[in-house]
Amino acid sequence: MEIKRFKIKDLIPAPYNPRTISDSALSGLRASIKRFGYVDPIIRNSNGHIIGGHQRIKALLAEGYDPDTEIEVVLVDIPEIEEKALNIALNNPAIQGDFDYLKLEPLLLELREGLGDLVLEELKLDSLIPIEKEKDASPQMNELEFRIIVDCDSEQQQGELLLKFEDEGIKCRALIS
């Protein structure tokens, strides 16, 4: 692996990059960079295109990094068709693994105690799984909330599932994205 330093302004976004970032996610990424620094290098192909790190560049600039700032970049030399495959693979949730919620939940509780709710909110860690939420202002009465996201093929399927879940007593809500 070759690592070189480049000015942020000289890093060319791939014109085909299919990734976007919401304002909320960008806010979390900015908070991560602000708290931990630039710890996840950009990946750049020899043709000049960024393969991985488009959102990190947006976050760096939004955090006030000067476009003339030099940052470490991982360099690769692969054909453009492989570059496109790598661009998608780097962000493919199907190959990134899953959290073990039995391990994640106590870790998030520890982080909440050590860092506070505000840090977890800023870093969007609170969205991984909802941590204990207080019920009736009594610290002994805590309830856990778990969520599942179901992708539907149509609005009709979404409606049918919503009714089925409600018939089974499962509290749910429909979202369209």
**37-93: per-residue pLDDT in tens?**
999 999 999 999 999 999 999 999 999 999 999 999 999 999 999 999 999 999 898
Domain identity same for 124 and 170: no
**129-167: per-residue pLDDT in tens?**
655 544 444 444 445 566 777 778 888 888 888 888 888
User: 27 or 120: which carries more pLDDT confidence?
Assistant: 27
Domain identity same for 75 and 17: yes
- Taking the complete model, does pTM exceed 0.85, yes or no? no
3-state helix, strand, coil in the chain (%, to 5): 45, 20, 40
| Structural domain total, the chain | 3
- Strands (E) in 18-69, as ranges, are 42-45, 50-52
Phi and psi torsions of 142, nearest 5° = -105, 145
Over the chain, what is the mean pLDDT?
A: 86
Residue numbers of the domain that contains 64 = 2-95
Domain identity same for 86 and 34: yes
